[in-house]
Structure 1
Amino acid sequence: MKETAATDVSKDASSRRFHPGLRALPTALLLALIVLLAAPAALLIAPAFVGPPPVATPQTPAWQQAPTALSARQGLAPLSESAPLPLPAAVGAQLDPLLKPDGGGTFTGLVQDGMTGQILFDRGGSENRVPASNMKLLTTVAALRALGPGHRFSTRVLAGPGPGQVVLAGGGDVLLGPGESAPDRVMGHAGLASLAAATVAALQDKGAAGELKVLVDDSLFSGPPLNPAWAEGDVAAGEVAPLFPLALHSARFDPAVTTGPRPQDSAVTAAEAFAAQLKAAGSAAGFTVTAAVERYSPSGTGEAAAASEPVVLAGVQSATVSEQVDLMLQTSDNYLAEVLGRMASAASGGPASNEGATAAVRARLGELGIPAEGMNLADVSGLALGNQVSARQFAEVVRAITTGPDPRLRGALDGFPVAGLTGTLDERYSGEATERGAGLVRAKTGTLNSVIALSGYVVDADGRLLVFSFIGNGLTPGAAGNREALDRAATALAACGCR
């Protein structure tokens, strides 16, 4: 029985070896089913173990990558007298179709070769016109010649006539800042906080103590602080303010806000700011400062005045005249222009008044050989409608600045706004008709209600320096085409081959 059983078992095993498909087939089907069901789950679970599939790293374009070497130097070649001179007929053919008013009014204009002075275009260039802020070019010449590009204005604190009195004396710096002096800036180059600290130190050295009272001396300027030729509406709108020989932010409450109301007594406003700084600086040293400030005018002349020469306690100095001229031209600052004109007169021994300023401008132009016949100067900022100057006179002034014999005038070159980039031209020259002039045209703008002007210089496509002045009078107020006409004319000069 046992043997028989063993034999049966052996037969069963033998049967499985020789007929495997009979019992293995269901198992294979089961395994296949398991694989089919497990594959989707594996796709969901696998990222948790191996991470997301690799993502291709975007390649930074070559033009966005940091350079590995300096590029070749690019820019305008030095001016050469051998560069081809444009033909007047060709220049006229370019400009005449462009200088058309949008509505009423007329344009005059003049273009000269910067090196030789040869006239290349003349449309009524000798006619007197209202020039608006192009007047500031004439003031620039007067200031640089009378004062010198490196001259600085001093704001001083003097020992007052009575005990505890100090006198803040204006010396022509109307770009004072209320805080610490900022040597790297034009506006705020001299700061009242720095002046106050120096004053306290000087008083301590002299053994002073107790109460201080601030007086302000603005006697440097004479004549009415407001020019009667200025329209009341322009004064009310903040285009200008009463003139004094010291002011904060060019007589602005905030240097960032260039429109709207302005201080009507910038000397007292500056003195009040100084008194506040003096109080802050002097508190630790035992000084007190009375709140109110008063005006002070020195009296006496000759030997008596010399004998009573006040003691200078402290002083701060402005940015240079060249830097101030550049700021004036870039921003077309009327207040600063009028002050620079008065200071130019004072430097020449004349009165620091409006009449002195206009006389100083006329005299300095005469020294340069620029004819002033028929010219009428009602102010030196261009705000007055009574100014009468020709395009030819402006072109001659630009030529004197760029290539004339007086190197002091080169101090104004940085002040010319650059088309599409800086100053009053920063938002112009962006349209299709004028974009070729962007970065190439450098010019002073001028705008009044029915007046528009543009005077400056370009280097044309052949490397020739051209100076120009275009002035529109009697124009339709607000007509956009007038500004574009001048910008297109200047652009045409920059692209001119004109031969």
Structure 2
Amino acid sequence: MMSHVASHPWAAIIRRQLPLALLTILIVALAVPAAMLIAPAFTGRGPEPANTESAVPAWQQVPRDLSLPQGIAPLKDSAPVPWPDALGAQLNTTLQADGGGSFTGVVQDAATGQVLFDRGGAEARVPASNMKLLTAAAAVRAIGPDQRFSTRVVSGAEPGSVVLTGGGDVLLGAGESSRDGVLGHAGLATLAQLTVKALQESGVKGPVQVRLDDSLFTGPALNPTWSPDDVAAGETAPLFPLALNSARYDPAVTTGPRPQDAAMTAAEAFSAQLTTAAAAAGLSVTPGVVRGQAPESSKVLAEVQSATLRQQVDLMLQTSDNYLAEVLGRLAAVAAGQPGSNDGATATVFKQVQDLGIPTDGLRVADVSGLSLGNQVSAGQLAEIVRAITSGTDPSLRAAIGGFPVAGLTGTLGSRYTDASTERGAGLVRAKTGTLNSVIALSGYVVDADGRLLVFSFIGNGLQPGAAGNRTALDRTASALASCGCR
């Protein structure tokens, strides 16, 4: 969106010597794998890591070979917890604002919840896209990590009419379904082909009229707390329960203006695909698409399904997609029996945080993507969300682990942690970024040099817009955690 300890030798190697191909393999070797492999690492169960004579722990070294990874070795409960005074001395040095404003922050031991560093951790602040961590947790709990969303074509009220019905998939592709993709997992060309086959089997001969049912979401399509400038710039767009490319004109272009009626854009693309598929079968399609709800007694003619919620949460966190975050919030509301609206989404996210047992004092949920300046979340609350995801009592939340960007390698952290002051965190820090005009935040987790899993959140508010030192301060602070043997 936005401790001075000698650098580890492996970090310099990553930065200066490894080619891109090796970096790609290295991320697989270093990054936290699927939740089923990782969960024992966070609970302390399983075999202990092999002994090493090196002063640098095994998990912080470049692998000796490039064989397929087996996952991070389980962490030991006996690994020492950083001494708060020693840790604080380092973090208070690095966590300094560049110009105006200030940073708050919290670091906790994931296993015990012990607070190791607290600078204004209870102070409610604008979290920017760190808000998406709350949304990820709420969506996984309310919907379920393996849930998929269906886009259906059903029979219309008039003979020969069909109704394209949105079920919450806004990652539709215009072409054929991509089995291995998240974006484009369900394709409109495939849906059109299935529809023509069903129409033929039903004996339809006359022209086919396409209608659009996007009634799953209710209320205003735009959150009233969003800046019109952000909408115009394409930071988000009016929300609908179906869209192409997360409401982008081109899946390869993730900046700039978005369609203002993403559902109709998708419906028109479907109509075009249906026209092509129908022509090959000797059928015709009436030009134009009109809105209209599907009859209650309608018959399902064709259906395509999205990638799983787990995969969509990963994409949302990795790319910090505001549109997808807001849609997942509305879908969580629908799953919880609430309206699929702005108010339904914000109420559902708040309730899910509350149900996790996280104190909600001062918490204000104005939107679920983090674009709104009306959001108020403390560093302590964000650290607790990360702790719930990594090592809490609800195992379904492990589904959100894979979405945290990896420092220097993936997502919104891919181009960071590349200089001498931050390279110690490369490949180790896993965190969600957040940036608004005068706001910057970073919340995530790291295994420190002693093998202890730490969760953290740092939030800067009132900052000087564009001051480069603020992002560096966050990255240096997280890197200090990664290299900490603070005893």
Q: Which TM-score bucket, shorter chain as reference?
A: 0.7 to 0.9
Contact 2:222 2:237 in 1 (8 A): yes
Q: Does 1:475 align with 2:463?
A: yes
Contact 1:459 1:466 in 2 (8 A): yes
Contact 1:166 1:214 in 2 (8 A): yes
Tell me the amino acid that sits aligned with residue 310 of structure 1. Answer: S
Contact 1:221 1:353 in 2 (8 A): yes
> Once the two structures are superposed, what CA deviation does each residue of 1:131-179 show, in whole Å capped at 9, x if it has no partner?
0000000000010000100000000000011111100000000000000
Gaps of 5+ in 1: 1-62, 300-307
- For the residue of structure 2 that corresponds to 1:492, the secondary structure is helix
> Once the two structures are superposed, what CA deviation does each residue of 1:290-331 show, in whole Å capped at 9, x if it has no partner?
2210011257xxxxxxxx421100100000000000000000
Show the counterpart of 1:107: 103
Show the counterpart of 1:385: 373
CA distance in 1, matches of 2:419, 2:345: 39
Corresponding residue to 2:182 among 180, 183, 186: 186
Tell me the amino acid that sits aligned with residue 326 of structure 2. Answer: E
Show the counterpart of 1:260: 256
Show the counterpart of 1:145: 141
CA distance in 1, matches of 2:175, 2:369: 28
CA distance in 1, matches of 2:327, 2:65: 49
Show the counterpart of 2:208: 212
Tell me the amino acid that sits aligned with residue 105 of structure 1. Answer: G
Show the counterpart of 2:447: 459
**Residues 59-208 of structure 1: pairs in structure 2 closer than 5 A:** 76-208=72-204
Tell me the amino acid that sits aligned with residue 462 of structure 2. Answer: G
CA distance in 1, matches of 2:290, 2:363: 41
1:422, CA displacement in angstroms? 0.1
Show the counterpart of 2:404: 416
> Once the two structures are superposed, what CA deviation does each residue of 1:39-91 show, in whole Å capped at 9, x if it has no partner?
xxxxxxxxxxxxxxxxxxxxxxxx99xxx998798985421110001111011
Corresponding residue to 1:326 among 297, 305, 314: 314
- For the residue of structure 2 that corresponds to 1:418, the secondary structure is coil
CA distance in 2, matches of 1:315, 1:150: 18
Q: Does 1:223 align with 2:219?
A: yes
Tell me the amino acid that sits aligned with residue 131 of structure 1. Answer: P
1:407, CA displacement in angstroms? 1.1
Contact 2:163 2:294 in 1 (8 A): no
CA distance in 1, matches of 2:235, 2:65: 49
- If the length of structure 1 is used for normalisation, what is the TM-score? 0.84
Contact 1:77 1:463 in 2 (8 A): no
CA distance in 2, matches of 1:222, 1:194: 28
**Residues 290-305 of structure 1: pairs in structure 2 closer than 5 A:** 290-298=286-294
Q: Against the structure 1 CA distance between its residues 69 and 267, is the aligned structure 2 distance closer, same or farther, given a 3 Å change threshold?
A: closer
1:286, CA displacement in angstroms? 1.4
1:332, CA displacement in angstroms? 0.1
CA distance in 2, matches of 1:381, 1:360: 13
Q: Does 1:372 align with 2:380?
A: no
Q: Against the structure 1 CA distance between its residues 84 and 189, is the aligned structure 2 distance closer, same or farther, given a 3 Å change threshold?
A: same
Contact 2:124 2:376 in 1 (8 A): yes
> Once the two structures are superposed, what CA deviation does each residue of 1:188-223 show, in whole Å capped at 9, x if it has no partner?
000000000000001111111121111000000001
CA distance in 2, matches of 1:76, 1:489: 23
Gaps of 5+ in 2: 1-18, 22-63
Corresponding residue to 1:342 among 326, 330, 345: 330
- For the residue of structure 1 that corresponds to 2:172, the secondary structure is coil
CA distance in 2, matches of 1:360, 1:74: 37
Q: Against the structure 1 CA distance between its residues 69 and 356, is the aligned structure 2 distance closer, same or farther, given a 3 Å change threshold?
A: closer
Aligned length: 427
> Once the two structures are superposed, what CA deviation does each residue of 1:234-264 show, in whole Å capped at 9, x if it has no partner?
0010000000000000000001111111100
1:337, CA displacement in angstroms? 0.2
Show the counterpart of 1:56: none
Q: Against the structure 1 CA distance between its residues 119 and 163, is the aligned structure 2 distance closer, same or farther, given a 3 Å change threshold?
A: same
- For the residue of structure 2 that corresponds to 1:97, the secondary structure is helix
1:339, CA displacement in angstroms? 0.2
CA distance in 1, matches of 2:67, 2:297: 61
- For the residue of structure 1 that corresponds to 2:431, the secondary structure is strand
- For the residue of structure 1 that corresponds to 2:254, the secondary structure is coil
Tell me the amino acid that sits aligned with residue 171 of structure 1. Answer: G
Q: Does 1:449 align with 2:449?
A: no
Contact 2:156 2:294 in 1 (8 A): no
1:356, CA displacement in angstroms? 0.4
Deviates more, 1:284-293 or 1:332-341: 284-293
RMSD: 1.8
1:424, CA displacement in angstroms? 0.1
Give 4+ residue runs of structure 1 displaced > 3 Å after superposition.
68-77
- For the residue of structure 2 that corresponds to 1:313, the secondary structure is strand
- For the residue of structure 1 that corresponds to 2:454, the secondary structure is strand
Show the counterpart of 2:345: 357
CA distance in 2, matches of 1:194, 1:70: 38
Q: Against the structure 1 CA distance between its residues 191 and 72, is the aligned structure 2 distance closer, same or farther, given a 3 Å change threshold?
A: closer
Q: Against the structure 1 CA distance between its residues 194 and 73, is the aligned structure 2 distance closer, same or farther, given a 3 Å change threshold?
A: closer
CA distance in 2, matches of 1:70, 1:433: 28
1:274, CA displacement in angstroms? 0.3
- For the residue of structure 2 that corresponds to 1:111, the secondary structure is strand
Contact 1:218 1:246 in 2 (8 A): yes
Show the counterpart of 2:277: 281
Q: Against the structure 1 CA distance between its residues 312 and 464, is the aligned structure 2 distance closer, same or farther, given a 3 Å change threshold?
A: same
CA distance in 1, matches of 2:352, 2:316: 19
Contact 1:210 1:286 in 2 (8 A): no
Tell me the amino acid that sits aligned with residue 315 of structure 2. Answer: L
1:99, CA displacement in angstroms? 0.7
Q: Percent identity?
A: 70
Show the counterpart of 2:395: 407
1:114, CA displacement in angstroms? 0.5
Tell me the amino acid that sits aligned with residue 336 of structure 1. Answer: L
Tell me the amino acid that sits aligned with residue 260 of structure 1. Answer: G
- For the residue of structure 2 that corresponds to 1:276, the secondary structure is helix
Q: Against the structure 1 CA distance between its residues 486 and 291, is the aligned structure 2 distance closer, same or farther, given a 3 Å change threshold?
A: same
CA distance in 2, matches of 1:320, 1:74: 24
1:373, CA displacement in angstroms? 2.0
Contact 2:232 2:257 in 1 (8 A): yes
1:230, CA displacement in angstroms? 0.4
> Once the two structures are superposed, what CA deviation does each residue of 1:438-476 show, in whole Å capped at 9, x if it has no partner?
000000000000000000000000000000000000000
